[in-house]
């Protein structure tokens, strides 16, 4: 769908009287060397300056200079090689211009050609031999051009391809024996030239030669001079030959009785396609065939037989069809002398004409399509094919090339097509003869027809290019170094020159701006100018592009102009900012900009200030999707979702990118066109939740309009069935709704609320019975299957009423639909739970259940008492709460009481049962006792005692109070039970033992002193609990001061000895563990230093890979620990103890030592209050030295531990918590590198210590 357009045009007049014969191109510097009548000229690429390099008259006499066969510039040898017809091969060195003879062929040279890599040269001599030489002219081989053999790759025939075995159609079987005579060419027409053409890789070359039988054929050799293939001998072949650089085709011309064709051969010499030339051999003679270096353009150089005018025809192939894209005509006084494609720049053509005129054409590929962002724009794409313009509208359909919607035949070949900006669907064809033809639609949707054809006035004599159709009668184009404004004169039917402004450099593109009277001009170096057609003035633009762009667009977005450009190096620019360097094509949609990349992805970004700003600042290229390799954008249909891509072979693909779909969907939803939106959603598989999530408030307030617009009950059912609680604008479509504010109140219980409002809107309709299925769907989505069955039951009752109109949707259809939504077994259970046996039978009949299974069950239920029947159904359905209510209703009959208690016990329905039964009933007491037993099993004795009291079991309640340690409630209950004094005394001793077990020494002492009356035991209990002030007070208040000497002071001494021993032990263990930890860490450091020579430097290319491996290893370690979380707490603690063992040499001994040290520090710190209390009592009894000694021991131990904390808990260990863990399982290479780089500690040691630091994660946080 692309056309070949002139991108850049340059011309230089060569000031010489000599006739130019041949020229060559310097691939290194781009300079051109021209040979003409004994002189070699040089055109410098940069300055276009012409200099005379050498004069062969110094080597030959002027009258004896032979004809030149070939000229070649060798950048390796830095010389020019000249091969002459008499056999001379000369070289001219650059700079010195010294002429040297490097070879001579006695029989002369017919053809001479260098290989593409300049390492081999091939020549055809006058004796029809082929000589192969190296680039330094060392001979390799000489072979006979007319050798009898086919070649080294001779075909092997197994008989299947014989003429005798083939089908001959209407000619009949007799055609098997007819032999085809090959007539020799007319020697007056065939020039007898032997032409050489190399394949692009330089491994093979072909020679077109006339055989001894005067028949032209092609022979293919390898670079060693060994014949490989020979083509079949065909009459009418001509001497021109060009091997496609890509290597798949050999092109030549052939004269047939009724047409003149370009014929193609494969490398094995077999024919492989053709196309006809638009003229016959009697009109024009093909002089040369040339391929561009990219193998995309085939140029046909021909001459008019009658007038001697010359022409260039440019052909391209797409989808196996050859298009004629350009025709350049040259008059007789500017006859083409030689033409060559540039060997470095893929689409640059060099032409030298008579009169010393040099032309340089740079071509580019463009897609000519209609303009405008309105729906009236038919999205037309014009394709040039000779004298025809192929037009296709992509708004309505996709027509693959070479077909088209319509063909417009013109009187001459077409070189360019431009669309009008005022009338976007009208096109203008620029013909090869200089005329313009307008192609206009007479009616909307109708075919294009030629409305007018006019010429350009004679003042515009130079070549015109870069046409822009500004308005109906106004055109802008370029002519040489001027930009021109042309206006159509209706009376003269001509384009009249109205303005002409000079340019400083070569123009490469013209683009219309948002101002219809101004156009943007781009020069060859990327400079931008503005041409004001009203004032005929060229002025500077706001900025210049970093480089020249082959495609350019200017767009105004919210009063800001943006320039989009794409260079031939895949650089994409917005204004002066390079956005990406991998863009292969782009196009502008009415709302988006779309790009394709070298990674075969399609990118979409909004055409607003935020989207463009994101592109320019963050290089955020928007959403992407994968496309076929090599696909290029053709057009994005405005105000639509169609995007047309063309594949490398030429076939088209129409896609609908998700951002464009969402934009169109948002437009429909904002305008409340719900039917069109729903149709779009179904066709393009957009999540239907977006109908609500796009704007919940609008949808909720327009539900009735939504139902009336959609109409189709099936669509409504589909919408309700796809509802989800999640907000799709926050999940799958979050990128498109980035600016949407979050309102949680509208999305809470979304499914339930939407089903409710839609069902309400449906029921408000006059024909609501038509929408029975959506109503059922809404109940199902609300998890209300019983309501759905009620709807079906109502319809079934209506059907049973005689004389009434039958419903639109029958109950059978409704039930069948419901069974599609819900599992039949689940629906059977719901129907059974409604206690409607008729409905259960109907549902069961639709299932796969065996009637022998459910009918006896239903018959048995029918015989039961109603409450017990419902109890059995609820129990069958495992609705135990409802079953309890039903069986409680019939529990007046004692035969059901035991079954009720069993239900309560099995399913732990104690609290529900206590609310159902009267407190005075026996059942209430039974339930209370059951509940108390359950609480007692759950180790909740206090609550169990309360329930035992309610159930009247006071003895067990007393036991529970005793187990709970509540001595006041126990003694209160004992009083209620009228315990005797001895029983109370015995109970008090039991309570004291229980309280002592629970370390409630104060409570136990109170019972002993107040209830038992044993003061000595009470003081002993307080001493046991180290409650010294209370013990002293009890002894003195009870007038038993002797107890101070017998119980309290000995207790103080024992406690002093215990604390002194604990502090000494802690001091000793702390020192031992600390010393061992230092040894272990020193050993580990030495181990790491030994390995340091094998580490990878931080600046190595492999650093990131190594870090990744380390991180994954750590993550795996953490994952393995996480996998063990299913262990019981007992086994987990056992595993941790085994993992962190204090045994010397264990893998994690350092971590075990840290844990042990942590325990020591923690236990010692907890002794502070105990030591303070004991010292206070020692001072009270004048034992100052012992108190001071104990205090000093504690201070020394704590001071030692405090001074060692930094040594034990190093910075790596302290920083390895969950929030500072650099090497954790969530870490990445970038985060680790950034962490160390920010602290300035990035070194190779971190790669060694990383795993060590990660080991600290094995310690719980409290030990770090």
Containing H/E element for 338? strand 336-341
- Backbone φ/ψ region at 374: left (φ over 0), alpha (ψ -120 to 50), beta: beta
- Please report which confidence band the pLDDT of residue 588 belongs to, taking 50, 70 and 90 as the band edges: very high
Name the DSSP class of 257: S
CA distance 882 to 873: 10
Alpha helices in 628-749 (DSSP H): 658-670, 674-684, 690-693, 696-701, 703-710, 713-721, 744-747
pLDDT in tens, 1136-1179: 666 667 777 777 777 888 888 888 888 888 888 888 888 887 88
Cβ count near 134 (within 10 Å): 11
Q: How confident is the model at residue 747, as a pLDDT?
A: 57
Q: How confident is the model at residue 160, as a pLDDT?
A: 61
Q: Pick from 236, 256, 238: which is nearest to 193 by CA?
A: 238
Is 1219 a residue whose pLDDT tops 60? no
pLDDT in tens, 1006-1053: 777 777 777 777 777 777 877 878 777 877 777 787 877 788 788 888
pLDDT in tens, 188-239: 467 788 899 999 999 999 999 988 888 889 999 999 999 999 998 888 899 8
Give 165-185 as a DSSP string.
GS--GGG-GGGGGPPPP-PPP
- How do beta strands 494-502 and 448-456 pair? parallel
Is 1215 a residue whose pLDDT tops 70? no
Using the structure block, give the residue that is written with the tokens 């063909």: 407
Q: How confident is the model at residue 121, as a pLDDT?
A: 94
Lowest-pLDDT range, 3-7, 598-602, 1215-1219? 1215-1219
For residue 1159, give every residue at least 6 positions away whose Cβ sits within 8 Å of its Cβ, in sequence order, or none.
none
Q: How confident is the model at residue 724, as a pLDDT?
A: 92
Give 1047-1059 as a DSSP string.
IIHHHHHHHHHHH
Q: Pick from 357, 358, 352: which is nearest to 337 by CA?
A: 352
Give 185-242 as a DSSP string.
PPTTT-----EEEE-TTSSEEEEEEE-TTS-EEEEEEETTS-EEEE----TTB-S--E
pLDDT in tens, 1192-1209: 888 888 888 888 888 887
Percent of the chain with pLDDT over 90: 35
Cα-to-chain-centroid distance, residue 1195:
65
Is 54 a residue whose pLDDT tops 80? yes
Q: What angle do CA 134, 210, 233 make, to 5 degrees?
A: 110
Cα-to-chain-centroid distance, residue 194:
55
> Higher confidence at residue 894 or residue 971?
971
Structure tokens at 1049: 């002071």
Q: How confident is the model at residue 1101, as a pLDDT?
A: 39
Name the DSSP class of 1076: H
Cα-to-chain-centroid distance, residue 889:
64
Strand, coil or helix: what is 1105? helix
Q: How confident is the model at residue 621, as a pLDDT?
A: 61
Q: What residues does 4 pair with on adjacent strands?
A: 365
Instruction: Order the strands of the 551-557 sheet from edge to edge.
Output: 551-557, 560-566, 572-574, 577-580
CA distance 119 to 132: 11
Strand, coil or helix: what is 272? strand
Is 334 a residue whose pLDDT tops 80? yes
CA distance 757 to 699: 10
Handedness of CA 1163, 1169, 1172, 1173 (dihedral sign): negative
> Higher confidence at residue 182 or residue 267?
267
> Higher confidence at residue 890 or residue 129?
129
- Please report which confidence band the pLDDT of residue 123 belongs to, taking 50, 70 and 90 as the band edges: very high
CA distance 974 to 967: 10
- Please report which confidence band the pLDDT of residue 1258 belongs to, taking 50, 70 and 90 as the band edges: low
Half-sphere exposure at residue 370, Cβ-oriented, CA atoms within 13 angstroms: 27
Structure tokens at 679: 């149709």
Q: How confident is the model at residue 169, as a pLDDT?
A: 67
> Higher confidence at residue 260 or residue 860?
260
Give the mean model confidence (pLDDT) for residues 475-503.
Answer: 89
Q: How confident is the model at residue 1223, as a pLDDT?
A: 43
pLDDT in tens, 611-627: 888 777 765 666 788 99
pLDDT in tens, 240-256: 999 999 988 999 999 99
Is 760 a residue whose pLDDT tops 70? yes
CA distance 719 to 687: 9
Give the mean model confidence (pLDDT) for residues 315-332.
Answer: 93
Is 1249 a residue whose pLDDT tops 90? no
Quote the pTM value.
0.73
> Higher confidence at residue 467 or residue 1254?
467
Give the mean model confidence (pLDDT) for residues 752-756.
Answer: 93
- Please report which confidence band the pLDDT of residue 1109 belongs to, taking 50, 70 and 90 as the band edges: very low
CA distance 322 to 386: 10
Percent of the chain with pLDDT over 70: 86
Contacts 24+ apart (CB under 8 A), 306-310: 307/332, 308/332, 308/335, 309/335, 310/335, 310/336
Q: Pick from 325, 314, 272, 310: which is nearest to 292 by CA?
A: 314
Cβ pair 785, 826 in contact under 8 A: yes
Q: Pick from 150, 130, 148, 149: which is nearest to 140 by CA?
A: 130
How much of the chain is helix, strand and coil, in % rounded to 5? 40, 25, 35
Q: How confident is the model at residue 385, as a pLDDT?
A: 95
Contacts 24+ apart (CB under 8 A), 1159-1167: 1160/1066, 1160/1069, 1160/1070, 1160/1073, 1160/1201, 1161/1070, 1161/1201, 1161/1205, 1163/1066, 1164/1063, 1164/1066, 1164/1194, 1164/1197, 1164/1198, 1164/1201, 1165/1198, 1167/1059, 1167/1062, 1167/1063, 1167/1194
Q: How confident is the model at residue 1092, as a pLDDT?
A: 55
Is 567 a residue whose pLDDT tops 90? yes
Cβ count near 828 (within 10 Å): 20
Name the DSSP class of 895: G
pLDDT averaged over every residue in the chain? 82
> Higher confidence at residue 545 or residue 1215?
545
Cβ count near 1150 (within 10 Å): 22
Is 1243 a residue whose pLDDT tops 90? no
Give the mean model confidence (pLDDT) for residues 275-296.
Answer: 92
* Sequence spans of domains, the chain: 980-1038, 1057-1122+1151-1263
Structure tokens at 420: 């009008």
Cβ pair 795, 772 in contact under 8 A: yes
Lowest-pLDDT range, 34-43, 74-83, 307-316? 34-43
- Please report which confidence band the pLDDT of residue 844 belongs to, taking 50, 70 and 90 as the band edges: confident
> Higher confidence at residue 802 or residue 1114?
802
CA distance 482 to 486: 12
Is 1099 a residue whose pLDDT tops 60? no
Cβ pair 694, 673 in contact under 8 A: no
Give 815-835 as a DSSP string.
HHHHHHHS-HHHHHHHHHHTT
Q: How confident is the model at residue 1216, as a pLDDT?
A: 52
Q: Is the preceding omega at residue 402 within 30 degrees of 0, hence cis?
A: yes
Q: How confident is the model at residue 955, as a pLDDT?
A: 83
- How do beta strands 3-13 and 129-134 pair? unpaired
Containing H/E element for 778? helix 772-781
Lowest-pLDDT range, 39-53, 345-359, 372-386, 812-826? 39-53
Structure tokens at 722: 């796809």
- How do beta strands 406-409 and 414-419 pair? unpaired
Alpha helices in 1101-1148 (DSSP H): 1103-1123, 1129-1139
Using the structure block, give the residue that is written with the tokens 């007491």: 925
Q: How confident is the model at residue 876, as a pLDDT?
A: 83
For residue 339, give every residue at least 6 positions away whose Cβ sits within 8 Å of its Cβ, in sequence order, or none.
288, 290, 299, 301, 312, 349, 350, 351, 352
Cβ count near 158 (within 10 Å): 6
pLDDT in tens, 68-121: 899 999 888 889 999 999 999 999 998 888 888 998 999 999 999 999 999 999
Name the burial class of residue 120, with classes exposed (0-12), middle (13-18) and buried (19+) by CB atoms within 10 angstroms of its CB. Answer: buried
> Higher confidence at residue 914 or residue 217?
217
- Please report which confidence band the pLDDT of residue 816 belongs to, taking 50, 70 and 90 as the band edges: confident
Cβ pair 596, 633 in contact under 8 A: yes
């Amino acid at each position: 769908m692309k056309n070949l357009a002139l991108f850049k045009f340059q011309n230089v007049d060569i000031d010489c009287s000599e006739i130019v014969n041949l020229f060559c191109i310097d691939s290194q510097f781009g300079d051109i060397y021209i040979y003409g009548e004994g002189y070699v000229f040089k055109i410098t690429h940069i300055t276009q300056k012409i200099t005379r390099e050498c004069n062969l008259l110094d080597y030959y006499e002027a009258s004896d200079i032979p004809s030149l066969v070939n000229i070649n510039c060798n950048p390796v040898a830095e010389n020019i090689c000249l091969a002459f017809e008499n056999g001379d091969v000369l070289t001219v060195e650059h700079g010195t211009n010294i002429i040297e003879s490097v070879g001579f062929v006695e029989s002369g040279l017919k053809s001479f050609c260098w290989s593409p890599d300049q390492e081999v040269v091939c020549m055809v001599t006058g004796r029809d031999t082929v000589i192969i030489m190296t680039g330094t002219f060392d001979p390799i081989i000489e072979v006979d051009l007319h050798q009898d053999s086919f070649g080294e790759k001779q075909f092997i025939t197994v008989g299947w391809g014989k003429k005798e075995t083939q089908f001959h159609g209407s000619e009949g079987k007799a055609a098997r024996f007819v032999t085809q005579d090959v007539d020799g060419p007319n020697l007056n027409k065939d020039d007898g030239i032997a032409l050489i053409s190399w394949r692009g890789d330089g491994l093979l070359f072909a020679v077109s030669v006339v055989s001894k039988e005067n028949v032209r054929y092609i022979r293919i050799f390898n670079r060693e001079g060994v014949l490989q293939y020979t083509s079949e001998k065909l009459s009418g072949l001509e001497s021109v030959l060009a091997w496609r650089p890509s290597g798949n085709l050999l092109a030549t011309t052939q004269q047939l009785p009724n047409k003149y064709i370009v014929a193609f051969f494969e490398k094995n010499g077999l024919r492989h396609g053709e196309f006809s030339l638009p003229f016959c051999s009697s009109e024009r003679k093909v002089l040369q065939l040339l391929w561009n270096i990219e193998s995309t353009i085939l140029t046909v150089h021909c001459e008019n037989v009658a007038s001697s005018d010359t022409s260039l025809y440019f052909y391209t192939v797409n989808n196996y069809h050859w298009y004629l894209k350009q025709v350049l005509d040259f008059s007789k006084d500017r006859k083409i002398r030689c033409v060559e494609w540039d060997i470095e720049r893929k689409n640059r053509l060099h032409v030298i004409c008579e009169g010393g005129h040099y032309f340089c054409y740079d071509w580019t590929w463009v897609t000519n399509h209609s303009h405008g962002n309105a729906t009236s724009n038919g999205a037309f794409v014009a394709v040039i094919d000779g004298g025809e313009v192929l037009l296709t509208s992509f708004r309505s359909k996709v027509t693959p090339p070479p077909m088209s919607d319509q063909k417009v035949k013109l009187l001459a070949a077409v070189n360019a097509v431009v669309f009008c900006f005022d009338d976007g669907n009208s096109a203008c064809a620029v013909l090869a003869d200089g005329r313009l033809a307008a192609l206009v639609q007479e009616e909307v949707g109708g075919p294009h027809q030629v409305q007018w054809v006019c010429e350009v006035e004679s003042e515009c004599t130079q070549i015109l290019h870069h046409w822009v159709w500004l308005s109906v009668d106004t055109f802008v184009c370029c002519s040489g170094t001027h930009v021109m404004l042309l206006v159509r004169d209706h009376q003269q039917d001509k384009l009249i020159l109205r303005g002409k402004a000079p340019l400083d450099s070569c123009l490469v593109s013209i683009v219309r701006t948002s101002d219809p009277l101004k156009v943007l001009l781009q020069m060859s170096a990327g400079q931008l100018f503005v041409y004001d057609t009203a004032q005929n003035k060229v002025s500077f633009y706001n900025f210049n592009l970093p480089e020249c762009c082959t495609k350019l667009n200017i767009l105004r977005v919210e009063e800001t102009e943006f320039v989009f450009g794409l260079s031939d190096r895949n650089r994409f620019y917005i204004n002066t900012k390079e956005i990406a360097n991998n863009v292969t094509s782009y196009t502008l949609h009415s709302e988006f900009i779309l790009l394709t990349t070298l990674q075969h992805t399609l990118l979409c970004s909004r055409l607003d200030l935020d989207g463009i700003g994101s592109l320019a600042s963050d290089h955020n290229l928007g959403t992407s999707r994968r496309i076929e390799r090599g696909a290029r954008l053709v057009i994005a249909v405005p105000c639509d979702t169609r995007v047309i891509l063309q594949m490398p072979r030429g076939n088209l693909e129409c896609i609908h990118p998700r951002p464009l779909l969402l934009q169109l969907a948002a437009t429909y939803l904002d305008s409340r066109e719900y039917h069109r939106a729903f149709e779009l959603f179904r066709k393009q598989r957009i999540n239907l939740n977006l109908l609500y999530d796009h704007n919940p408030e609008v949808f909720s307030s327009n539900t009735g309009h939504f139902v009336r617009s959609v109409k189709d009950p099936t669509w409504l059912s589909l919408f309700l069935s796809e509802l989800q609680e999640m907000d799709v604008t926050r999940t799958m479509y979050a990128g498109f709704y980035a600016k949407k504010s979050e309102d949680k109140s509208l999305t809470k219980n979304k499914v339930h609320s939407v089903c409710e409002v839609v069902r309400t809107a449906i029921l408000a309709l006059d024909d609501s019975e038509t929408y029975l299925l959506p109503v059922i769907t809404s109940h199902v989505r609300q998890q209300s299957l019983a309501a759905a069955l009620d709807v079906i039951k109502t319809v079934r009752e209506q059907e049973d009423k005689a004389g009434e109109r039958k419903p639109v949707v029958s109950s059978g259809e409704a039930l069948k639909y419901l069974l599609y939504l819900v599992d039949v077994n689940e629906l059977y259970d719901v129907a059974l739970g409604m206690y409607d046996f008729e409905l259960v039978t109907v549902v069961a009949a639709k299932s796969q259940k065996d009637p022998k299974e459910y009918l006896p069950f239903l018959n048995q239920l029918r015989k039961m008492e109603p409450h017990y029947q419902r109890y059995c159904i609820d129990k069958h359905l495992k609705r135990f709460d409802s079953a309890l209510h039903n069986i409680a209703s019939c529990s007046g009959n004692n035969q059901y009481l035991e079954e009720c208690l069993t239900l309560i016990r099995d399913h732990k329905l104690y609290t529900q049962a206590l609310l159902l039964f009267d407190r005075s009933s026996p059942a209430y007491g039974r339930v209370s006792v059951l509940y108390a037993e359950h609480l007692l099993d759950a180790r909740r004795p206090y609550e169990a005692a309360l329930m035992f009291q309610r159930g009247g079991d006071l003895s067990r309640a007393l036991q529970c109070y005793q187990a709970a340690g509540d001595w006041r409630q126990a003694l209160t209950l004992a009083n209620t039970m009228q315990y005797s004094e001895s029983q109370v005394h015995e109970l008090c001793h039991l309570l004291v033992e229980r309280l002592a077990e629970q370390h409630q020494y104060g409570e136990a002492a109170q019972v002993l002193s107040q209830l038992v009356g044993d003061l000595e035991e009470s003081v002993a209990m307080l001493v046991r609990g180290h409650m010294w002030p209370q013990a002293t007070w009890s002894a003195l208040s009870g007038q038993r001061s002797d107890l101070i000497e017998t119980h309290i002071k000995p207790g103080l001494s024992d406690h002093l000895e215990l604390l002194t021993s604990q502090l000494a032990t802690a001091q000793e263990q702390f020192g031992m563990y600390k010393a061992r930890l230092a040894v272990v860490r020193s050993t580990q450091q030495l181990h790491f230093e030994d390995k340091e020579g094998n580490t990878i430097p931080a600046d190595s290319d492999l650093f990131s890979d190594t870090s990744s491996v380390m991180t994954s290893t750590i993550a795996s370690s953490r994952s393995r620990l996480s996998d063990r979380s299913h262990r019981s707490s007992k086994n987990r603690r056992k595993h941790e103890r085994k993992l962190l063992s204090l045994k010397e040499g264990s893998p994690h001994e350092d971590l075990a030592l840290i844990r042990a040290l942590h325990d020591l520090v923690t236990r010692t710190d907890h002794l502070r209050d105990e030591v303070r209390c004991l010292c206070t009592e020692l001072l009270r009894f004048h034992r100052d030295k012992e108190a001071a000694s104990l205090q000093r021991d504690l201070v020394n131990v704590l001071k030692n531990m405090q001074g060692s904390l930094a040594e034990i808990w190093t910075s790596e260990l302290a920083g390895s918590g969950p929030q500072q863990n650099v090497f954790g399982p969530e870490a990445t290479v970038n985060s680790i590198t950034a962490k160390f780089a920010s602290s300035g500690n990035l070194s190779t040691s971190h790669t060694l210590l990383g795993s060590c630091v990660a080991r600290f994660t094995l310690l719980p946080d409290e030990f770090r």
